[in-house]
C-alpha cells in the first residue's frame, strides 16, 4: 500500500519530466515585433470603448451625457515585456484620450443641448497577462490583472451658458473621468481573454497532416517566462490516425535552446522525426511496387539475365511474363541527428517476381536492403520540410553468402532505381511539410538550421503576413450586449 501511494505521488513528477519532441522559444526581440502589432490592436480596442450614458442632478442642475465617443488616442509611452514566471506585462504611461459627447443640461429655467469636447490626460494602464496550458494543451491567457488611472480631465465649453458650464465643469469632468476609468480595464480584459485567446485558438494542437497521419502539438506544461525569453515545451508527436490514442515512448534527447539573438527558436528532437516515420510505417504506406513498364528497361534486362537460370528451373513457361518489384520497409526507419548532419536509416525487403496473366506470381528473389539517407531540414514560412538524399545502399541475401555475392552486380542498378524513381516520390511528399505551432498570420523568415547531438534548432525572425486585427476579426466572437446607463 505504501509503495502504491509513493508511485501515485511520483507520477506527476514523471509526467512533468517527459522530454518534448518540439520546443519553441520567443525572445524579447520577437516580443518587440509583437508589440508593434499589439499596440495598434490596443489603440483600436480603446478607441471603441463602449461608455454608458451618465445622467443625474445636483441641486437645481440636471444633466444627461450620452453618445460618448473616443475621437483620438495618443499612447506616448508604452512597454511590452516578459515578467517571470508566467506573465507578459503591458504598460501604458502618460497617454491622452480625446472624447466627444452629447450634452443635455437644465439649470433653473435654462435648458441647453449640444456637444462637448473633452480630453483625459495622464492616463496610466498596467496589465499583466498570465499564460497557461489549458486542458487540451493549448496556450491560453488564463488571467489578466489590470489597473488604470486618469490624472485629470478637461472639457471645452462654448455658447451663451459657457460661464455656467465652466462653473459646473469640474463636477461633469469628475463624473466622466470616473466612468471612463471604469471602462478601460474591462475593455482590455475582453481584448485579452476573448479576442487574443481566439487568436491562440488558431495554433494547431492535434491536427491531421494528411489522410494517414496526424500530429500532436499539445503543451506538456505551462510556459516558462524569464525576463528575456518565453519557452514552451510541446509533445511534438506524430500519430497514425486509426490508432490516435497510441503513444510512442520518447527516448530522445531533450532539446536545449540557449540562444537569444533571433526573434524565435524552434527545436526538434530525434523523437519528433522518429514518431513521424513510425506512424507512416503503422499506416502501411512505406511500400512501393513497380511492374511491367514501370521497371526501367536496362534494369529489367539485367534482372532477367541474373535470374534466368532460376526461371528455367522453376517455370520455363513464364520466362516472358511481366516483371514485378515490391519494395517494403520492414521496420520503422530511425533518425540520427549529429552536429555533422542528419541521417535516416532504413531496412527493407525487395521481392522480385514474374506475374504471368491468370497465374500465381513466381518469386525470383527476396533480398534484404539497408539504406542510409541524408536529411536536409528546412523551415519555409510555417512549414517544416525535409529533403532526403540516398547516400549508402547495400543489398544482401539472408539465405546464403553465395547468393549475396550473386546479387552484387545488381547493387548499382538498384541504387540508380531508388535515386531516380523512389526518392523523387518520397521528397514530393516531404516537401509539403508539417505546420509549426504558430498563430495564423505569423510566419518565419531568415531561417538558420543548426544541428546538435540528438536534436536540431532553427533560429528565425518573425513576420506578420496578416495583421493582428485581420485575424482577430475573422474569429471574433459575438459582441456582448450594450451596457445600461449609469446614474
Burial environment of residue 338 by CB neighbours within 10 A (0 to 12, 13 to 18, 19 or more)? exposed
Cα distance between residue 160 and residue 400, in whole Å: 113
179, 203, 227 — which closes off a domain? 203
> How distant, in Å, are the alpha carbons of 198, 300, 322, 349 from that of 358?
60, 21, 12, 26
Q: Work out how many domains the chain is built from and give that number.
A: 2
pLDDT at residue number 261? 95
Residue 249 lies in a domain: no
Q: Which residues contact 320 (CB under 8 A, 6 or more apart)?
A: none
Compute the mean pLDDT over every residue in the chain, rounded to the nearest whole number: 84
119: domain range? 27-203
3-state SS assignment for residue 436: coil
148, 181, 203 — which closes off a domain? 203
203, 238, 266 — which closes off a domain? 203
296 and 193 in one domain? Answer: no
pLDDT class of 21 with cuts at 50, 70, 90: very high
Check pLDDT > 70 for residue 299. Answer: yes
Positive/negative CA dihedral, 32, 34, 37, 40: negative
Q: Which residues contact 161 (CB under 8 A, 6 or more apart)?
A: 105, 107, 110, 112
Residue 368 lies in a domain: yes
Comparing 3 with 422, which gets the higher pLDDT?
Answer: 422
For the domain that residue 327 is a member of, what is the CATH number?
A: 3.15.20.10
Comparing 370 with 108, which gets the higher pLDDT?
Answer: 370
pLDDT at residue number 478? 60
295 and 406 in one domain? Answer: yes
Identify the top-confidence range among 59-63, 64-68, 153-157, 341-345. Answer: 341-345
Check pLDDT > 80 for residue 425. Answer: yes
165 and 48 in one domain? Answer: yes
Residue 459 lies in a domain: no
Residue 246 lies in a domain: no
pLDDT at residue number 54? 76
Identify the top-confidence range among 106-120, 243-257, 291-305. Answer: 243-257
C-alpha cell belonging to residue 315: 517455370
290 and 199 in one domain? Answer: no
Q: With left for phi above 0 and alpha for psi between -120 and 50, is residue 255 left, alpha or beta?
A: beta
Q: What is the pLDDT of residues 82-124, one digit of tens each?
A: 999 889 999 999 999 888 888 777 767 677 777 778 888 899 9
Q: Which residues contact 63 (CB under 8 A, 6 or more apart)?
A: 54, 55, 56, 57, 103, 104, 105, 106, 172
Residue 298 lies in a domain: yes
pLDDT at residue number 12? 44
Residue 144 lies in a domain: yes
Report the percent of the chain where pLDDT is more than 90. Answer: 39
Of 467, 478, 480, 460, the C-alpha closest to 199 is 467
pLDDT at residue number 204? 87
Residue 227 lies in a domain: no
33 and 175 in one domain? Answer: yes
pLDDT class of 15 with cuts at 50, 70, 90: very low
Check pLDDT > 90 for residue 258. Answer: yes
In the block, which residue shows the cell 540516398? 390
Cα distance between residue 159 and residue 165, in whole Å: 9
3-state SS assignment for residue 76: coil
Strand residues in 311-361 grouped as ranges (E): 323-329, 334-338, 341-354
Residue 51 lies in a domain: yes
178 and 305 in one domain? Answer: no
For the domain that residue 139 is a member of, what is the CATH number?
A: 3.15.10.10
198 and 344 in one domain? Answer: no
C-alpha cell belonging to residue 361: 506470381
Q: What is the pLDDT of residues 427-466, one digit of tens each?
A: 998 888 899 988 888 899 999 999 999 999 999 999 888 8
Amino acid at each position: 500500500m505504501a509503495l502504491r501511494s509513493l508511485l501515485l505521488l511520483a507520477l506527476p513528477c514523471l509526467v512533468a519530466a517527459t522530454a518534448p519532441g518540439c520546443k519553441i522559444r520567443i525572445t524579447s526581440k520577437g516580443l518587440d515585433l509583437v508589440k508593434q502589432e499589439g499596440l495598434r490592436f490596443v489603440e483600436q480596442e480603446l478607441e471603441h470603448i463602449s461608455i454608458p450614458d451618465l445622467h443625474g442632478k445636483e441641486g437645481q442642475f440636471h444633466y444627461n451625457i450620452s453618445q460618448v465617443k473616443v475621437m483620438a488616442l495618443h499612447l506616448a509611452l508604452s512597454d511590452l515585456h516578459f515578467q517571470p514566471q508566467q506573465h507578459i506585462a503591458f504598460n501604458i504611461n502618460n497617454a491622452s484620450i480625446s472624447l466627444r459627447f452629447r450634452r443635455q443640461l437644465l439649470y433653473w429655467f435654462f435648458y441647453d443641448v449640444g456637444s462637448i469636447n473633452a480630453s483625459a490626460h495622464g492616463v496610466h494602464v498596467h496589465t499583466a497577462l498570465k499564460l497557461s496550458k489549458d486542458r487540451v494543451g493549448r496556450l491560453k491567457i488564463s488571467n489578466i490583472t489590470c489597473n488604470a488611472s486618469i490624472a485629470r480631465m478637461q472639457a471645452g465649453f462654448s455658447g451663451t451658458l459657457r460661464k455656467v458650464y465652466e462653473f459646473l465643469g469640474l463636477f461633469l469632468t469628475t463624473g466622466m473621468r470616473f466612468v471612463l476609468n471604469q471602462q478601460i480595464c474591462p475593455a482590455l480584459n475582453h481584448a485579452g481573454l476573448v479576442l487574443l485567446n481566439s487568436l491562440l485558438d488558431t495554433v494547431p494542437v492535434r491536427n491531421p497532416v494528411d489522410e494517414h497521419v496526424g500530429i500532436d502539438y499539445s503543451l506538456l506544461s505551462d510556459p516558462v517566462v524569464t525576463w528575456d525569453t518565453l519557452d514552451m515545451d510541446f509533445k511534438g508527436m506524430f500519430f497514425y490516425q486509426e490508432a490516435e490514442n497510441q503513444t510512442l515512448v520518447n527516448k530522445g534527447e531533450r532539446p536545449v535552446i540557449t540562444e537569444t539573438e533571433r526573434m524565435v527558436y524552434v527545436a526538434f528532437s530525434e523523437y519528433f522525426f522518429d514518431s513521424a516515420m513510425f506512424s507512416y510505417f503503422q499506416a502501411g504506406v512505406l511500400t512501393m511496387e513497380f511492374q511491367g513498364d514501370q521497371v526501367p528497361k536496362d534494369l529489367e534486362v539485367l534482372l532477367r539475365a541474373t535470374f534466368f537460370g532460376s526461371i528455367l528451373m522453376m517455370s520455363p513457361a513464364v520466362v516472358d511474363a511481366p516483371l514485378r518489384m515490391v519494395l517494403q520497409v520492414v521496420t520503422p526507419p530511425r533518425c540520427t541527428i549529429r552536429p555533422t548532419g542528419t541521417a535516416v536509416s532504413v531496412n527493407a525487403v525487395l521481392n522480385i517476381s514474374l506475374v504471368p496473366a491468370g497465374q500465381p506470381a513466381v518469386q525470383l528473389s527476396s533480398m534484404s536492403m539497408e539504406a542510409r539517407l541524408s536529411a536536409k531540414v528546412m523551415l519555409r514560412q510555417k512549414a517544416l520540410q525535409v529533403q532526403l538524399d540516398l547516400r549508402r545502399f547495400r543489398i544482401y541475401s539472408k539465405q546464403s553468402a553465395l547468393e549475396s555475392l550473386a546479387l552484387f552486380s545488381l547493387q548499382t542498378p538498384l541504387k540508380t532505381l531508388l535515386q531516380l524513381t523512389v526518392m523523387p516520390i518520397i521528397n514530393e511528399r516531404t516537401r509539403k511539410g508539417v505546420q509549426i505551432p504558430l498563430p495564423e498570420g505569423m510566419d518565419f523568415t531568415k531561417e538558420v538550421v543548426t544541428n546538435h547531438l540528438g536534436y536540431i534548432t532553427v533560429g528565425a525572425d518573425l513576420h506578420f503576413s496578416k495583421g493582428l486585427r485581420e485575424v482577430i476579426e475573422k474569429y471574433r466572437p459575438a459582441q456582448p450586449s450594450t451596457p445600461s446607463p449609469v446614474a
